[in-house]
Amino acid sequence: MDDHRWTRGWLASVGALSVLMGCHGGPQATPQATAPQPGPTVSAPPNSHLKREEIFFIKGDSTLSPGAIEKLQRCATAWDAGGTWVLAFPSDSGVLFDVLERRLLALRVQLRKFGVQKLETRLLPQEPEGKYDVIYIEKNVP
């Protein structure tokens, strides 16, 4: 791909990544799409609330900081490790595919250490670029 950044074909790659990593409900490629489309929204069960926390990454790095690991542990405790968790990330963020892949894997490994077993990925609409790259962890809780 040109300059190793995501292009139109990256959506298919993310879909393949979600299959390889055991993710369910990840983005789907559509042949007619000319631009990345957001994935399906997470619908909250009745009487529940969507909880969301940001995990920030230094540009080009996939390492979880000690603060990020503490945040993941607090969330796993407060939100209950059971149920379905979502790793959501903005589309077309300019992040290299291999960096995104390592970040998602690092989050999955750490959350599994805290008892989270069911993880899905979700593609979000494009967001303005910030100082740090972000992946959101989400869960519907009662």
* 21 or 63, which is more confident: 63
Indicate if the pLDDT at residue 25 is higher than 70: no
Distance from C-alpha of 62 to C-alpha of 76, rounded to nearest angstrom? 21
The one-letter amino acid code at 107 reads L
Q: What is the pLDDT of residue 19?
A: 37
Mean pLDDT, the chain, rounded, equals 77
Residues paired with residue 52 on neighbouring β-strands, in sequence order: 138
Distance from C-alpha of 112 to C-alpha of 106, rounded to nearest angstrom? 10
Distance from C-alpha of 76 to C-alpha of 23, rounded to nearest angstrom? 18
Express each pLDDT in 111-126 by its tens digit: 999 999 999 999 999 9
The one-letter amino acid code at 65 reads S
Q: What is the 3-state secondary structure (H, E, C) of the chain?
A: CHHHCCCCCHHHHHHHHHHHCCCECCCCCCCCCCCCCCCCCCCCCCCCEEEEEEEEECCCCCCCCHHHHHHHHHHHHHHCCCCEEEEEEECCCCCCHHHHHHHHHHHHHHHHHCCCCEEEEEEECCCCCCCCEEEEEEEEEC
Q: What is the pLDDT of residue 47?
A: 58
Full-prediction pTM beyond 0.85?
no
Q: What is the pLDDT of residue 141?
A: 84
